[in-house]
Amino acid sequence: MKRFEGKVAVVTGGSRDLGRAVCVKLAEEGAKVVVNWNSSEENAKETLALIEKVGGTAIAVKADVTKEAEVKKLFAEAVKAFGDRIDILVNVVGGIVGRKKIVEQDEDWYNCLMDINMKSVWLCTREAVPMMTAGGSIVNFSSQAGRDGGGPGASLYATSKAAVLCFSRAMAKELGPQGIRVNAVCPGMFNTSFHDRFTKPEGREALHRTAPLRREGEAPEIADLVCFLAGDESAYITGAGIDINGGCFFS
């Protein structure tokens, strides 16, 4: 029997990169997966095709998870497809959006970063918890930036990701008595379109020279960690922030 057989997982930002790898791995391990997407239907279709290829079951739901009404729609579609129980929630949605120094930031920029990286986690957690029972697991995506303050121009991204870490600990305390575990992963540099867009090539080359493992991470490696945290193997782990950065930073 596969380890997530009979379980339902909702993955926000599941259509590409790290979220896609998480969706495919959960489905391969037997979970029925709700793949949330917002900006690219084509990416979502590609993810569904990969899930079908490994023999999994999934639906794709378009929703902007920074908006309450759309989060409700996402979970309503999950219930419609797979029943009124959620076993696993993986909050992947997030982003740096751009780089701005403090003197260049305005209130709209602040709200944008906090909405994408923190409000989305809060809204989805609030919606999922009533559908979760003992044994449920929530895995939130923080970042190495949430540990070390991030790179130039990423102060609000780093701050919002630190908030995700704190929120994960708070939820672990609140939901633990119900048998629901909450953890966070803190990725460093991974080989994804995120870093293709926001990290300069010389920065990535420097990491290849100086990182203890001399390389970036690959998406399947974080999918393995998420599945570990979602599964019974980690039954006594909650409130943790797990660093996965090839040794570049130790909390």
Question: In angstroms, rounded to a whole number, what is the distance separating the alpha carbons of residues 117 and 155?
Answer: 13
Question: In angstroms, rounded to a whole number, what is the distance separating the alpha carbons of residues 139 and 212?
Answer: 26
* 251 residues of the chain, pLDDT tens digit each: 899 999 999 999 999 999 999 999 999 999 999 999 999 899 999 999 999 999 999 999 999 999 999 999 999 999 999 999 999 999 999 999 999 999 999 999 999 999 999 999 999 999 999 999 999 999 999 999 999 999 999 999 999 999 999 999 999 999 999 999 999 999 987 777 655 555 566 666 666 666 777 677 788 999 999 999 999 999 999 999 999 988 776 65
Whether residue 157 lies in the annotated active site: yes
Q: Residue 116's pLDDT is what?
A: 98
Q: Residue 113's pLDDT is what?
A: 98
- Per DSSP bridges, beta strands 241-244 and 57-62 are unpaired
Q: Residue 246's pLDDT is what?
A: 82
Residues 6+ apart with CB under 8 A from 193: 16, 17
234, two tokens? 């980690």
137's enclosing H/E stretch is strand 137-141
Domains of the chain and CATH, by start: 8-241 (3.40.50.720)
Biggest CA–CA distance in the chain, Å, is 56
Q: Residue 206's pLDDT is what?
A: 63
Q: Which of 4, 37, 122, 157 is catalytic?
A: 157
Question: In angstroms, rounded to a whole number, what is the distance separating the alpha carbons of residues 192 and 105?
Answer: 26
